[in-house]
Structure 1
Amino acid sequence: MSDEVPTTDDREPALVVVSMIDHVLGLAATWTSWDGRLMRVDERVYTPHKAIRRVADHLVDHLAEMEARLAGGSPIPDRWHASAATTPADLAPFTDQDLDEAGSRLTRLGRIWADRLTALSPDQLDWSSGEGWTFRQIAFHLAGSVYYADAVGDLSTVGSDH
């Protein structure tokens, strides 16, 4: 993922975030057939659990940033290990229960994002205190979280090359 200033367009920011989550969950629906092979992309390792963790962490991190800025405070610095770390939990099989939990977690986070972004005026969406991107840019940046799910890919064809 890139730290370049995100390009925006005329799509509703809430829809951008929710569409990203729909894409991630669409791929995740194929991950219960994961055979345990690690996916290597850009010198990093990805697994189904790690992809879900990274998407959720990214949503939480920027939500905390947005809420702190809207409240007039400073965001807590990001101390995630990001995709550089692969935890033992990331290596576990991805079960139907994991898919259900991921769906609940990401759908709820998507709803929080959609509610917050929809409540902001166009001026608020395009506002920045000078530190960080506008809230519209953050929403479009979050769309890049598909990267983590795309790194795992569509595993609906068992035995295919990933």
Structure 2
Amino acid sequence: MDDYKAACAIYIDHFGKNRIVADLGPDDFAELRATMAEKWGPVTLGNVIQRIRVAFKFASDNDPIDRPVRCGQAFKRPSRKVVRVDRAKKGPKLFAPAVIHQLLAVANKPMRAMILLGINGELGDSDCGRLPQSAVNLGTGLIDFPRPETER
């Protein structure tokens, strides 16, 4: 929910609180997109664009505005190809073994466990939070826990 509030705040900062929604057109949204593209990469840009579009769709479907807002062709998420090229340009996000050892040396026990689960089991922070104790077999060192995201 906070992400949608933040996206709406970006829209309000750009157009102002008193801008009449019915006056907005594709050129206005193209300008907003260009402004956002100067600050962010394609993933963040796409996420914010989608959240703004969802907010206007919600408003249109629930009658706070009397007609759908026309955002135009320019106010779309970056293509998957653009996202892939950007990720490839940045390279993989990997921790060097020395950095991992430094993290483990200063981490408390719960954080140390989460670091090891992330590195060895590809579990993220929410996966660690949802991991039931019954899924962990300390005798064999195995975890039987399908990640909710992928069910594997």
State whether TM-score is above 0.5: no
Normalised TM-score (structure 2): 0.27
Normalised TM-score (structure 1): 0.26
Instruction: Pick 1 or 2: higher relative contact order, CA cutoff 8 A, min separation 6.
Output: 1
Larger Rg: 2
